[in-house]
Every structure is written in structure tokens, then in C-alpha cells.
């Protein structure tokens, strides 16, 4: 994995401010942990109100975490006037999302002026162990000059 | 689109019971509307606590709706003793998820004994108009004989 | 499926000229059949030198047909000075690619200034029957002002 | 990346024999280089008859290499009586596939009795440099007891 340079020296502040505006992340209780240039982690404590019919965390929540981690990994490299939008992603669910918490790690694979491609891995944490439960490839888009979209 | 025959005469009851156990669907306020063999719709009223940083419904919620609609479309065709799990999906977000409500339509493309492939479309409903905001291909797996997984 | 209007009145000529420059399509013996605004079909006669280890047409060839059909469906709507590039695609292989020929149908789902999202279906043709063997979602990008890339 | 143990002590012979039956790989001139448990590399020399309209190697060929590398990475871990089929994959094309040759590296992310999830990266090699041109997630299926499918 290469190291990337951000085009925004205040990249961490920017990512944290944008994350704090994501109401869904508040609703599900997710928090932003690590923020590096091109690399962002999001943590979620297990909650019963986020499960599917077998008691695992719903794939939609797993995907929302990975998608947000990827989106903010992309945003962390963008210039201050750019907003980030998810174009598309693909996720494979590898194991039941069970445990004390979920950790989603988003990393930039290839940054670009318009499109940035990221990979996301989601781990279930339990008893100090880390198990890969999902893996994602996501395409993010840098959008400029759209009123109301500055993060 | 072909018509499919279910292997479970009580397919609708089964899908509705399973859906009622998806805590996430309760948490976000989604409801199951149409249930046909191989075709399931899910409706969500717009809520501010489900948005991302630009005020649109978060991609994770859009995906959760489409994923659940696809999963239940697959389950509707399965024999009574099978449970359904999402193997993977890919979603393209085509337009901002804004409007009075979102309607996710899941359809079986190809049923199978082990794997069932589905397509999902999510529409934003506003002022009587219907706009496509996301499109998905999903792979679902039929699981049998795993304790605690019967839907 | 909506009808789309092309931004290039000579869209068919443009698509056919570009296709004729795709050496791979010549190499595998594929031909462009239907070209409409936002909708393009490609046909391939079955050939033993294109198979995988079980004697089916290799997934890579199936994908190349669907990808090209989607790319040209996107290009057919673009202005004359734009070139098209595949950003990404996802394909599900539903049935063995066996038969007299394969027909790939690419359709625009959502056109855009920068990105165009398409769906592609590949059918195996045999004894007058048509069987769906693969389904794709693809994201295409319109590129302008890059020397040497005008189709 | 974890190390995986094969369920077939002759995994390398098996993979090489199966690869030699892939007519498409012969047709495009691809060769199998590294074969380890859960990890397979395929090499392709640049050829003008495999290009798309801008002179890059066609995305379909790039995908065929990555798909085959992933499929054989999965097969290398399977028991002797299992055959491998591609269920689906998603590929992002990151940079033009230009150079002296392409190297596709397939790795198992998560092996399973029925489904094995793999990641594939394709690099362009030129002047001793290695550039990532595509990245894939693929789902492979283990098939048993189907006549004529033993690899």
C-alpha cells in the first residue's frame, strides 16, 4: 500500500466535521477512529436494533460503515473545495457480523482528480481477536461547485 | 421478466415473518409492501436521522433496502427449510436519494438450488413521480440445516 | 426502459467506426449488430479457441462482449468530441456460455455528463431459443481532450 | 494475508493441467507463472490483436486474466474431486493496460466449502516497473459430481 499526500493540510478536521454531519452514523452509534491521508477507520459497537433476522448486524449496516470509511479515505486526499459522493460499490459478506464491535477500514487504492477507487475491509472484534467479515471495492467521485456540497 | 413458482405455498407469510424479525428494518422504519413469488418491495419514509452529510438518505440505507428486497425475493422462491444469506452485492447510486419516500424493488433474475441472483432498483417517490436512484445486482445463498437459521 | 436522445446525430457511424478499431473484437470474431441511442448489441459465434477448461466460452470473453456492448451504448449518447472508458463493471455468470452464438445487449440505465451507468445481458442462442447466461452493471466515463482518444 | 493449506497435495499439477485446457488462455498467449496454495499468477505479453480502440489491452482480456488467476487460486485449495466455476466478479480499471506485459495476481481472501472469495490485482510491467492497472473481487464456487467438470 502506497502512502498518499493530501491536497488539504486540514484533512483530518475536514473529515471529522463531515462525519459529524452524517446523521445515519449518529443513529447507528458509529464513531470515527483513525484518520490518515487515504486511510480512515470507523468503529461500531454491536447493537441489537441493527440486526437482520438471524441476529447478525445487517449487511446494510456493514456496508454503510465500509462505504463511509472508503468515502472519507477518498475525501482525506481531496482539495478543500471538493465534496465526495459514492458512485458505486461492491461488497462480499464473508462471515456473520457478530462480536463486540465492528471495525471498518477504508483505504485509497488509486486517487484521481475525478474518481478515486478505494478498498474497504470490515472486521468483527471479539475477545481481542479480529475477524474479516466483509470486503469492498468502492468508486468515489469528487464533486466541485455544487452548492451545499462541500464535504 | 419470467414468472417464477415458489417451492413454499406459504411464501408470503414466511417472508413477512422473517422481515418482522429484522430489527434494522424496524429501526429505520421500513415496511414490506408487495410480496410475490420472486418479487418483493420495501418502502421507507424519508427521515432526517438516516441522512449522510449532504442531507440525502445514506447509501448504506439505500443499499440495506435493496439488499433486503433482493433477499426476500430470493427467499420467496425457496423451500420452507431454507434460510437466505447475502453472499455479495454491487450497487450503483444514480441520483441523490431525496423525496417523500424510497421504494426498493427486488426481483429474482435466476433462481438456483444454492445461489439465486437478483436485481434491485430503488426509486425516490415525490409528488406522485418515481425516479430511479440506485440499481443493484445481488447474489443470495440458500442455507439449510444451520440451527437458528430458518428464514 | 426510457428512450434516450443522442448528442451526436452520427452516433451509429461513430459507434461502428470505433468498434472496427477494437482489435480484440476482430480477434474473437465478434460483430456489432444493433446500434440505437443508448442500446447496442454484439454477436459472437461459438468458437472452441475461446473456451475455458469445461468447454464453455470463457467468462472473460462473455464479459468483454457485455462490457463492449455497454461501452458503445454509453458512447452512442455522447457528444462527438467525447471518448468512452470503462471505469468498472460487475458481472454474474448465470449459466454455462454454450450454444451456437452469444448475444450481448448493452443498455444505458442512467446517462450523465461524466459517468454513464449501463446494464448488460448476455444470451446464449441455440435452436432458436435465447437463454440468459450473464448479467452486468457497468460504469462508463466520458473523457474529453485526451489526445488519441476520440471514440 | 493468511497462509492457506490446500486439500490436495498435487494442487500445482492440478492447476497447471486445468490451465492448459483453457483454450482462451492459449489463444491470447497467457501463461501460468507462480502457483502457491491460495495464490496464482498469470502473465501475458502485450499483443496488438488484444487491444480496444485506444490501443490499450481490452478490459475483457484484463478481466479474463484476473478472473483466471482468482479461479485457480481458489482451485488450488480445493479437494481433488471439486471443479471451480466463477459465480461473479467486479473489476475496477485503474489505468490504461499498456506496457510490455500484464501480470495478474489472484489470492484467496476467504476459502469455503461451497464459495471462495478472492481478490485479483493486474499490473502492467514496463522497464522493470510495476503499475497497478486493475483490481477485482471475485466469488468462486466449488462444484462436485458434475460429469465432465473435474477441474
ipTM associated with this complex: 0.92
Express each pLDDT in B59-107 by its tens digit: 999 999 999 999 999 999 999 989 999 999 999 999 999 999 999 999 9
Res B1 pLDDT > 60: no
The candidate with the shortest Cα–Cα distance to C138, out of C61, C77, C74, is C74
Q: How far is D114 from chain A (nearest CA, A)?
A: 12
Does residue D116 lie in a domain region? yes
pLDDT given for residue A3 in this prediction: 77
Terminal Cα distance for chain D, rounded: 25
- The span from the CA of B139 to the CA of B136, in Å, is 10
Q: Are C103 and C47 in contact (CB under 8 A)?
A: no
- Within 8 A of B114 by CB-CB distance, chain D residues are 114, 141
Express each pLDDT in A70-80 by its tens digit: 999 999 999 99
Q: How far is B110 from chain C (nearest CA, A)?
A: 7
Q: Are C133 and C124 in contact (CB under 8 A)?
A: yes
- The span from the CA of C75 to the CA of C69, in Å, is 10
Sign for the pseudo-dihedral over CA of B70, B73, B76, B78 = negative
Q: Are C40 and C8 in contact (CB under 8 A)?
A: no
Contact across the interface for B87 and D141, Cβ inside 8 Å: no
Express each pLDDT in C77-92 by its tens digit: 999 989 999 999 999 9
Does residue D58 lie in a domain region? yes
Query: How does residue C53 score in pLDDT terms, banded at 50, 70 and 90?
Result: confident
Q: Which helix (H) or strand (E) holds A24?
A: helix A23-28
Res D148 pLDDT > 70: no
Express each pLDDT in C119-132 by its tens digit: 999 999 999 999 99
pLDDT given for residue B15 in this prediction: 96
In sequence order, what are the beta bridge partners of A5?
A: none
Q: What is the domain extent for residue A138? A: 11-144
Residue C15 sits in a domain of what CATH number?
A: 3.10.129.10
Does residue D2 lie in a domain region? no
- The span from the CA of D16 to the CA of D13, in Å, is 5
Q: A88: nearest CA in chain C? A: C139
Three-state DSSP string of chain B: CCCCCCCCCCHHHHHHHHHHCCHHHHHHCEEEEEEECCEEEEEEECCHHHECCCCCECHHHHHHHHHHHHHHHHHCCCCCCEEEEEEEEEEEECCCCCCCEEEEEEEEEECCCCEEEEEEEEEEEECCEEEEEEEEEEEEEEEECCCCCCC
Q: How far is A134 from chain B (nearest CA, A)?
A: 9
- The span from the CA of D27 to the CA of D62, in Å, is 14
- Give the chains touching A; criterion: ≥3 Cβ pairs < 8 Å: B, C, D
Does residue B42 lie in a domain region? yes
Residue from D1, D2, D90, D134 whose CB has the most chain A CBs within 10 Å, to mutate = D90
Does residue A151 lie in a domain region? no
Q: Map grid coordinates 464535504 to a residue.
A: A151
Does residue A4 lie in a domain region? no
Q: A121: nearest CA in chain D? A: D109
Percent of chain B with pLDDT over 90: 84
Q: D88: nearest CA in chain B? A: B139
Largest interatomic CA distance in chain D? 47
Number of compact structural domains in chain D: 1
Contact across the interface for A151 and B53, Cβ inside 8 Å: yes
DSSP secondary-structure letter at D16?
H
Q: What is the mean pLDDT of chain C?
A: 93
Q: How far is B70 from chain D (nearest CA, A)?
A: 16
- pTM score, whole prediction: 0.94
Q: Shortest CB distance from A90 goes to which of D94, D110, D137?
A: D137
- Within 8 A of D90 by CB-CB distance, chain B residues are 90
Query: How does residue C151 score in pLDDT terms, banded at 50, 70 and 90?
Result: low
Query: How does residue A52 score in pLDDT terms, banded at 50, 70 and 90?
Result: confident
Q: What is the mean pLDDT of chain B?
A: 93
Contact across the interface for A24 and B63, Cβ inside 8 Å: no
Express each pLDDT in D73-105 by its tens digit: 999 999 998 999 999 999 999 999 999 999 999
Q: C96: nearest CA in chain D? A: D85
DSSP states of D97-112: --SSEEEEEEEEEE--
Q: How far is D80 from chain A (nearest CA, A)?
A: 24
Q: Are D63 and D136 in contact (CB under 8 A)?
A: yes
pLDDT given for residue C148 in this prediction: 55
Amino acid at each position: 500500500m502506497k502512502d498518499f499526500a493530501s491536497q488539504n493540510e486540514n484533512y483530518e478536521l475536514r473529515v471529522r466535521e463531515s462525519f459529524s454531519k452524517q446523521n445515519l452514523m449518529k443513529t447507528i452509534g458509529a464513531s470515527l477512529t483513525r484518520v490518515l491521508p487515504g486511510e480512515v477507520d470507523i468503529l461500531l459497537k454491536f447493537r441489537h436494533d441493527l440486526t437482520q433476522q438471524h441476529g447478525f448486524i445487517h449487511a446494510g449496516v456493514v456496508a454503510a460503515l465500509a462505504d463511509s470509511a472508503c468515502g472519507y479515505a477518498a475525501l482525506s486526499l481531496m482539495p478543500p473545495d471538493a465534496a465526495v459522493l459514492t458512485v458505486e460499490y461492491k461488497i462480499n459478506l464473508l462471515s456473520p457480523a457478530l462480536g463486540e464491535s465492528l471495525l471498518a477500514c477504508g483505504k485509497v487504492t488509486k486517487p484521481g482528480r475525478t474518481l478515486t477507487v478505494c478498498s474497504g475491509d470490515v472486521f468483527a472484534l471479539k475477545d481481542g481477536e479480529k475477524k474479516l467479515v466483509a470486503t469492498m471495492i468502492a468508486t468515489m467521485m469528487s464533486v466541485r461547485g455544487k452548492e451545499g456540497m462541500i464535504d
